[in-house]
Amino acid sequence: MSHLTRSIGLARLKNTLQTLLIVASLALVLALPGYLLTGIPGVLVSLIVVAIVVQITGWVPARLVLASSGAGLLRRHQAPTLYQALDVLYQRAGLEQPPQLYYTPSPELNAFTVGGPREGGIALTEGLVRTLDLAQLVGVLAHEVSHLRHGDTRVMSMAAAMTRLTLWLALLLQISLLVMLPSLVAEGEPLPWLALLAAACAPTLSSLLQLALSRRREYSADLEAVALTGDPYALASALTVLERHHGAWLMTMFGRRPPAWLDWLRTHPPTRERIRRLLALVKGSHVSVSPTHRDDAARPVILERPGPLGRRYWIVRRR
């Protein structure tokens, strides 16, 4: 077993355990206000509502994002080089569906996954395509394929649903306690300080856990991208470019060293830490070639830009 394979295996196990711990913590925080309201039935109803919301929102938000961004569907003849790389990445990831690429005419440097492993794709912005070279784009695509492969869109939808429901239950608990407060005082009963504390802290704690889960899934996608391409340098290089563009506003507000507490409010981990972890995987190991050819490096990655397909296409039509 090579050093790279061993490093990826250990990091994968760590990421999995941490993800399970965060999801369990989210469920526990959600269960607390539900239990304080109605006991065990409140906990069961809360979990059932989360499952229903995840099923309903599994594909609708992705389509709404694409519709509002003026996205177009990239055909194979419009981006043959990217589709050739995606074919290899999909095969290595074990995804049986045909690759689908979407294009949004935005100057922002961004890429995101829509849908899940069975029905989904990857969206790239114009700014990203213009800024990154082919090897960097393949590293980013591998990262997004990893999100697609593990259904991270569905996982984050579940976390968001749990956070929203926790907020609503905590608000309902607060209202119930305020209604009961006069009678408790009149009867000389002790105030339910524990319930008040739970109602006050549960939404904030759930939001922080949701952000932590998002950061953990990004670390996992970085790791799985390296497993797909065998080339940590391409993704690390792409992250360096993205940090140069996205990190400018942080430097404007906080200087060259943002405060440590800001990391708790990020949806993505600090880029420097992501790069450090990527490069740590290849110490003493041989790096294989990513799924691109040198002859493709000079070719434009998008030969023809697609036009927006309109809101009706994304909302109504099944892919």
Tokens read off for 119: 């029905």
Mean pLDDT, residues 158-164 = 89
Q: d(Cα 252, Cα 23) in Å, to the nearest integer?
A: 35
pLDDT by residue (tens digit) across 48-66?
A: 888 887 776 655 556 666 7
On the question of pLDDT at 1 being above 60, the answer is no
Percent of the chain with pLDDT over 70: 77
Q: What was the pLDDT predicted at 209?
A: 93
The CA-based dihedral angle spanning residues 231, 232, 235, 239, taken in that order and rounded to the nearest 10 degrees: -160
The pLDDT of residue 83 is: 93
Predicted model pTM: 0.81
Give me the chain's average pLDDT, please: 79
pLDDT band at residue 319 using 50, 70 and 90 as cut-offs: very low
Query: What value does the mean pLDDT take over residues 128-145?
Result: 92
Q: Which of 96, 144, 218, 243 is catalytic?
A: 144
Reply yes or no on whether 304 is catalytic: no
- The pLDDT value recorded for residue 145 is 94
- Give the residues across from 115 on adjacent strands: 120
pLDDT category of residue 267 using cuts at 50, 70 and 90: confident
Q: Which of 58-72, 156-170, 289-303 has the lowest mean pLDDT?
A: 289-303
- What Å distances lie between residue 313 and 44, 68, 176, CA to CA? 38, 12, 45
Helix (H, G, I), strand (E, B) or coil at 112: strand
**Domain layout of the chain by residue ranges:** 3-316
Residue by residue, DSSP assigns 7-48 as: HHHHHHHHHHHHHHHHHHHHHHHHHHHHHHHHSHHHHHHHHH
Taking the alpha carbons at both ends of the chain, their separation in whole angstroms is 40
As a whole number, mean pLDDT of residues 28-45 equals 86
- Strand-pairing partners, residue 102, are 73, 123
| Residue whose pair of structure tokens reads 């993505």 in the numeric block | 268
| Identity at 133, one-letter amino acid code | D
Is the dihedral angle over the CA atoms 80, 84, 89, 94 positive or is it negative?
Answer: positive
Please, which pLDDT band fits residue 311 given cuts at 50, 70 and 90?
Answer: low
Are the beta carbons of 124 and 71 closer than 8 angstroms?
no
pLDDT in tens, 192-212: 777 778 888 899 999 999 999
Q: What are phi and psi of 190, to 5 degrees?
A: -70, 145
pLDDT at 61: 58
What's the pLDDT tens digit per position in 119-135?
778 989 999 999 999 99
